[in-house]
Structures are given as C-alpha cells and as structure tokens.
Structure 1
Amino acid sequence: MSKSRSSAVFGKRKEPHTFIIARGEEIRHFTVRPWMSALAGSALAACAVGYLLATSYLVLRDDLIGATVARQARLQQAYEDRISALRAQVDRITSRQMLDQQLVESKVAELIDRQEELTARNGMILPLLEKAAGEDVLPARGPVPLDRPEIRADLPLENAFAPTAAATASAAASALSSLAAQKPAADPQRLSAADRADLLFVKINRSLHAIEALQFQKIRAVKENAYKTADAIVAALKDAGLPVDPDYGTGDVGGPLVPVGADDPFETEVEELDDALTKLDGIRQAAVRLPIANPAPGQSVTSGFGVRRDPLIGRPAFHAGIDFRASVGVPVRASGAGTVLKAGWNGGYGRMVEIDHGNGLTTRYAHLSKLKVAEGDTVAAGAVVGLSGSSGRSTGPHLHYEVRRNGKATNPVRFISAGKAIKDLL
C-alpha cells in the first residue's frame, strides 16, 4: 500500500487504497476507491440495521400476534353478545305474538260458543213465536234502549232473537282483519294490537249481551201479553156468567221456583212463555165453543128476553130468548162451536136447530125457512145452520134465538155482549 501524494494548493490529497496480494510468483493488486468504501460501509450499516429490525420483529412478534388475537376475540365476543340480545328480543316478540294469537283464538272460541248458545235459544224460541203469532199476542215492535255497537238488535222479533252464524263469524272475522291490518304504533302511548283486539271483542260481547237482553225483553213482553189476553177473556166470560177454567188465576202467585244450580233463567222464561201460550190457547178454544157470537150479525133485536106481551094472544108471557129482525133467507150462524142435537120441525119453534156447546150449554135457532145442517153434525162458530123465516108460531119473518144452561133459558144478550168485548182477543 503506497502513501498518498500531497497537494501544494489544497493540502494533503487522499489517494485511493491499493491492495496487493502476492502468492508465489503471482502478484495481484486492486485499488479501492473512496466511493467504493462508502458504498461498502453503507451496505454493512444497512445489513446491521436490517438485522436489528429482524431481531426486534422476532422478539416482538408474539406480543403483536397475541394483541391481535385478543382484539379479534373481543370483537367476536361483542358480536356474539349482540346476536344473543337480538335473539332474546326476537324470542320476546315471538312469545308476545303467540300470546296475542292465543288471546284472539280464545276470544273467537268464546264468540263461537256464544253464537251457538244464541242459535240453540233461537231453536227454542221459533216454535213459540209461531205459536204466539197464531195466538196474535206478539207485542208491537218499538225502539229498545240497548247499546248495540256492532251487531244490530233492532230487528223483527224472528231475527232479533238470534243472530245467524254468518253474522257472528263476520263480526269475528272483522275483528281479526282489523288486528292483522294494524301496524305497530311508533307512539308507545298507543294501545297494543292485542289490546285493540280485546276492545273489539268487548264491543262484540256487548252486542251479544244486548241481543240476549232483547230476547228476555221480547219473551217477557209476549208472555205478559198472553197473560193479559187470557185474563181479559176470562174476566169478560165470568162477567157474563159463562163457565171458564175454575182454577185459572188461582194458582198464578209467587213466581217460579228456581233452585240453585237449576236451569238458566232463559230456559225458565221460555217455559213460562210456553205455559202462558198454552193457557191462552186453551182459554180461546174454550171461548170459541161458548155461544158468545151474534147469530144474526147486522140485524137488530126486536124483542128481548123475559116477560113480555105475547104477540098472538096479547097476554103477558115469558119469552125464553131474543128475536132478531130478519127477512126470509137471511143466513143464521152458529154462535159457538158444537154438535147439532136437533135439526127439524119442533112445534111452535117451527124449523129449529139446537146445538150442544158442552158444559151444559145449548142454543136454539127457531122459525127457520130452511135448514143447512143435520143432527150429529159438528159445526164451527160462525157456520151457517139455516136461513131465517116465519115457520111455527110466528107473526112474521124473524130469528128466535135462545141460550140454555142445563135446560134453563138464560138471557143471550149477556153472552153476545161478552163476545163483542173479547172479539178482538179471540
């Protein structure tokens, strides 16, 4: 290695280093310039730095990996906690929906049971309605002050007693449709869907209660009308001295005995209504057989019952009946239903028809010009039994009419008056 030369101007000048390698006779040399030294030093420094960095990474890698794994674990745990909370919320919502559905189903089942009960009641009532219609004791329909929010009860009697299955099903379906169509309210103060459905079912139940109340009201009204009609008929007949059921009205006190656990009040009301209609029907049938109709409607009375001056001899005599002015050929009608005892000539009565009405009551229709019935015939009240005339002991065309009880003559006017009083009730 040679020394560098000096510069007179700039001082000492650096010369490149020359390396000589001798091996035997072979000599090699190479020159290392300054930039090459700097480059080599830089390379060595870079290698040292890289070695240090690599060593630091290897030393710190486990800590970095552990921190990353811990962070991922924390994130995963947070996600799992969130998922668990969401699942719990979904379970709560599902449980609430199931409870709401069960509530709705139970309410619908209750409505169906109520509808079936009303339908069964309708089956009990309809025969009585037909019977009441035949008895003509249905009360006049008027406004009923009942709350009917959903199902109207202001209907004719036949329709008001029981709603159809379609009506109840339609009401329940409407409630369910309303519940299904409702969306969750954003305002927490508003009622839930189940509460709104419950309100709908409360309204429908109120309507069914209104229908039941109307049923009771109508049944009681028909029953009271039947009893009032029967009482009016019996009172008029008793005033006329006509026989009626001697036990009627004497036992109708105290009200029905309804033991605890017995049939429901509705069945009791229906039984009482049936009993009232049965009694009314029996009284009407008995009244129809009584001689209370006018045998010559539209004709005036010319001679009354009792002692009078005999038209032929001019002396006082007992008149056993009443006389109606009637020209020849006027229809003579039976004053009550019964069986013909006699139909033919009977002395001073001339052509006469005698009818047995039962209970010892008979009627006679005398001075007829023509007979329309024969002995043994059964006649209805108002049936034509003959035509008026002047046969027998008579001074001119008229109808002689008698009512006899156990063979004794009775004033027919009382009977005819009673018939007029109860004509609209029969």
Structure 2
Amino acid sequence: MTIRPWMAAGVTSLIGIFGIGYLAATTYLVLRDDLIGGTIARQARMQHEYEDRITALRAQVDRVTSRQLLDQQIVEEKVDKLLQQQLELASRSGRLGTLAENAEPPTGGDAAALPEAEPLAYGDRAEAPGGIKAIEEIMGIAAKKAVVPARALALGYAPQAQSNGQGETISDRTDRIFSKVTLSLKDVERDQMAHVLQLTSKAQTTSEAIRTIVERTGVVLPAPKAVASSTAAASPDGTAVGGPYIEPQSHDDFERSLATLDSALVGLGETRNAARKLPLESPAPASDVTSSFGNRLDPFLGRLALHAGIDFRAATGTRIRSTAAGTVTTAGHAGGYGNMIEIDHGNGVSTRYAHLASILVHVGDRVETDQVIAQSGSTGRSTGPHLHYEVRLNGLAVDPMRFLRAGTRLAGYLN
C-alpha cells in the first residue's frame, strides 16, 4: 500500500482531534464540580443581595407610610378642630341673634337706636381663599400625600416635599391655609365679641336714658329683676344664701359677655315695660292746653287757688282717651269734678279726667293706652266745655306736663 502525503496528514489530523477531545473531556470531568459550585455560590450571593435590597425598600416604605399616616392624622385633627370652632361660632351667632331680637331697637326721635343683630358673614368668609372652604382643599392635599405611587415605593422614593412650582411645598401650603382659616375664624370671633359688647353698651345706655327721663317726672322705676339677680345672691324665696366661694365652671369670655348682654336686654325690656305703664300720652291729642298746673286765680272766687291739673280746650262731645293702661277705680259724679274717671296705673300713679259729658267705662274695667273712655263736657265746677286732667303720684297731684314732656322724649325709646 502506497502511503501518500495527504493520507499521512489526514491521519495526523484525526489523531490530534481525538487527543484534544480527550483532553477537553478529561478537563471538564476534573473541573465540573468546581464550576457548578462557583455558579451556585454566585447565584446565592445575588439572591441575598436582592433580599437585602427588598428588606431595605420595605423598611423605607414602612417609614414613608407611617409618616404619611401621621401627617394625615395631624391634618384631620386640625380640620376637626377648625370645624368644631366653626360650629361653635355658628351656634354663638344663633344665640346672639335670639338675644338681639329682645333688644327692640327704637326708631325715630333723637334716641340712639340699638344695633340690629346683623349676620356675621360666615358665607363670605367661607368662600374666601382663607375661609372655611379651604378645609376641603386641605383634606384633598392630605389625601394626595397619603397615597404614594407603587412604582415610586418600589424604587425606594417617597415624595416628601413636593413643590408647587413656586418654591412652596405641599406641607408649607397646608400650614399656610390652616393659618388663614384660623385667622378668619378668629376675626369672626372678635366681630361677635365686639357686637355683643356694642349691644350690651347700647342696651345699658338706653335703659339709663329711659330711667333718667322718667325720674324727672318724680316716678322712680323699680330696679330690673335681671340686674338685681346678677348683683345679689338669694334663693327663690328671698332668703339669704351662702357657702364657700367656688370658681365658675365656665371661663369663656363669650359666655360671660352673653350673660351680661342677656341681663342688659332683659333689664331694658323691664324698664321699657315699666315706662309704658306711665301716663305719657295726651288725653286729647288734638286739643290745646288752656290752663297749666299750679296756683292761679279761681274763676269762681277770684283768689289764688291750686289748680291740681291742666285744662284742655275741648268742645262738648270730644273723645277723651286713656293716657296709659290701667284699672278704672272711679267712674261717676264726684262733686266739683262733675262726671269724673280715675284710673290706677300701678306703682302709685293714677290719672283723673273731669267735667265729662258722658262716661264710657265702669269701675273695675281694664283699659288700654289710647282707649276712648269718655266724652268731654262742662259738668261740675266748670265755666265751659273743657277737659280737666290730673296726674297723681301716691295720692298727691303733680304737674301732668312732666309726663307729657317725658312721653315726647321717650317716644324714640319706647316705640
């Protein structure tokens, strides 16, 4: 067999290939365990690193969630506090309006009218940027802060201080809105306090003015029960009471102011009612006064005599009216008075209407102010048709003009 060169090269190549394969297989069998172990170790290290990362992310998520929940709780507490303050102010406004209804602001004349209890502008304040309407915006901000996107949490990112594009974070904006709302409610509270103090001052001033004008007539009005009860501690039956001093339960300035206003308004109402019982009206509004109160020449004797009342020019049949509410104590002929009516108005005050042509009421009748009670005439010791009108205080005659002038001055306070 002839061996050619290409055959020798082929055989050599096959032997080389088998040798290399044998060496590779032997090397793989020798090093296989080490390679597998290294790969497993590397995979274990990567798994531990991922687990550590996940644990760190979970811890960070827990911290962020806790912080967000705490922020939300704080915001909700602030909102609850503001809403409670708003409800309290609204309640105060309602109570203030109820009290002010008793003020009965006078009109006309030169009297200083009591201010009406105008509504304290909750609506305008609520719609304002810093008003109660902003609470909804605050709650919206809190909800946004409480919801953190899952993708951001997975990346370990929590937007704690988002900016609104003007360098102001959401937290700063929330605090600013809270400050505005709080200041707005404080302004309402101050307005209420000022309104209460103004009403109290006006009520006290009006009451004092009424009492001053009435006292010029000689009548002393009884002290209002509301004022008396606030200055003296007594039991319902009038007996004295005592005991150790204990601080009042409420230290709220507004409550004390309301109590003072209530006392002042009740006192004003009692003063007005007492003044309305006085004979302040004219018995013959369309008639002129022809003879005044005091000493004058007696038309029958021609010498000085006390004229215990005033005379009104009134033709026979002129309607005579009661000058105040009261009870008829006399209705009939009474000597020189002729036909006379006497009305008891209480508090020691009574009025007499004399020389009447006809009497329209009876003893015991209850008459009202401005009620027609008789017709004028010229009965008794009289020289012609007219009305003789007297006012008596504890049985003594006083000048009726005092009461007529007081009625003119009190018109603005009592109507």
TM-score range, shorter chain: 0.7 to 0.9
The separation in 2 between residues aligned to 1:56 and 1:242, in whole angstroms, is 134
Work out whether 1:203 is the aligned partner of 2:180: yes
The aligned residue for residue 34 of structure 1 is 5
Q: Name 2:114's counterpart in structure 1.
A: 139
Partner of 1:242: 219
Deviations 1:107-159 (A, max 9, x none): 22213332443354356434422222378897336xxxxxxxxxxxxxx53x3
1:216 aligns with 2:176: no
Contact persistence 2:226–2:267 (CA under 8 A):
no
Output the CA distance in 2 between the equivalents of 1:411 and 1:71. Answer: 122
Q: For the residues of structure 1 that align with 2:106 and 2:59, how far apart are their CA atoms? A: 69
Secondary structure in 2 matching 1:201: helix
Q: Normalising to structure 1: TM-score of the pair?
A: 0.77
CA–CA distance in structure 2, aligned partners of residues 225 and 358 of structure 1: 28
Superposition deviation, residue 402 in structure 1 = 0.6
**Residue matched to 2:411:** 423
Ranked by relative contact order (alpha carbons within 8 Å, sequence separation 6 or more), the top structure is 2
Residue from 305, 308, 315 that aligns with 2:296: 308
SS at match of 2:355: strand
**Do 2:227 and 2:263's aligned partners in 1 also have CA atoms closer than 8 Å?**
no
Deviations 1:371-423 (A, max 9, x none): 23221111223322223333333333322111122322211112222222222
| CA 1:38–1:59: 2 relative to 1, 3 Å | same
Could you say what secondary structure the match of 2:104 adopts?
helix
CA distance in 2, matches of 1:284, 1:70: 102
Distance 1:377-1:115 versus aligned 2 partners, 3 A rule: same
Distance 1:380 1:221 in 2: 34
In 1, Cα distance between the equivalents of 2:34 and 2:214?
Answer: 120
* 1:227 maps to 2:204: yes
Cα distance in 1 for residues equivalent to 2:398 and 2:199: 36
In the aligned structure 2, how far is the partner of 1:243 from the partner of 1:104?
Answer: 61
Q: Which moved more, 1:174-183 or 1:360-369?
A: 174-183
Contact 1:340 1:376 in 2 (8 A): yes
Separation in 1 of the partners of 2:46 and 2:380? 130
Question: Which residue of the partner structure matches residue 160 of structure 1?
Answer: 120
3-state DSSP of counterpart to 2:316: coil
What is the CA-CA distance between 1:366 and the residue it aligns to?
1.5
Deviations 1:234-277 (A, max 9, x none): 11122221122269999899999993754422222222122212
Match of 1:339 in 2: 327
Counterpart contact for 2:321–2:373, Cα < 8 Å: yes
- Choose from 361, 368, 381 the match for 2:356: 368
- Which residue of 317, 330, 350 maps to 2:305? 317
- The gaps in structure 2 that reach 5 residues or longer are 146-158, 234-244
Range with bigger deviation, 212-221 or 118-127: 118-127
Q: State the one-letter code of the partner of 1:340.
A: V
Cα distance in 2 between the residues matched to 1:177 and 1:380:
65
Aligned partners of 1:328 and 1:389 also within 8 Å: yes
Aligned position for 1:355: 343
1:161 deviation in Å? 9.1
> Secondary structure in 1 aligned to 2:114?
coil
Are residue 177 (structure 1) and residue 140 (structure 2) matched?
yes
SS in 1 for 2:352: strand
How many residue pairs match? The answer is 381
Once residues 347 and 164 of structure 2 are traced to their aligned partners in structure 1, the CA distance between those partners, rounded to angstroms, is: 83
The secondary structure found in structure 2 opposite 1:374 is coil
Which protein is bigger by CA-based radius of gyration?
A: 1
Give the alignment's Cα RMSD to 1 decimal. 3.6
What's the CA shift for 1:223? Answer: 1.3
Q: 1:67 deviation in Å?
A: 4.0
Match of 1:108 among 41, 63, 79: 79
Task: Deviation per CA, 1:292-342: give whole Å up to 9, x if none.
Answer: 322222432111111212334544332111111223343322222211111
What pairs with 1:55-70 in structure 2 (closer than 5 Å)? Answer: 55-70=26-41
Deviation at 1:98, TM superposition (A): 0.8
> Which segment drifts farther, 176-185 or 106-115?
176-185
Code of the aligned partner of 1:243: V
- 3-state SS of paired residue (1:160): coil
How far apart, in 1, do the equivalents of 2:304 and 2:166 lie?
101
Q: Distance in 1 between matches of 2:164 and 2:292?
A: 91
Secondary structure of 2:102's aligned partner = helix
* Alpha-carbon separation, structure 2, partners of 1:272 and 1:138: 19
Stretch of structure 1 that moved more, 208-217 or 233-242: 208-217
- Separation (CA, whole Å) in 2 of partners of 1:86 and 1:140: 66
Q: Quick check: which one's strand share is greater? A: 1
**Which digits, 9 at most, give the CA deviation of each residue in 1:80-99, with x for residues without a partner?**
34433433332233222211
* 1:303–1:296 distance in 2 versus 1, CA, 3 Å: same
Q: Does 1:44 align with 2:24?
A: no
Cα distance between partner residues in 1 of 2:24 and 2:225: 125
- Which residue matches 2:239? none
Return closer, same or farther for 1:379/1:96 CA change in 2, 3 Å cut-off.
Answer: same
Distance 1:339 1:389 in 2: 23
Structure 2 residue identity aligned to 1:382: D
The 1:388–1:131 alpha-carbon spacing in structure 2 relative to 1, beyond 3 Å, is: same
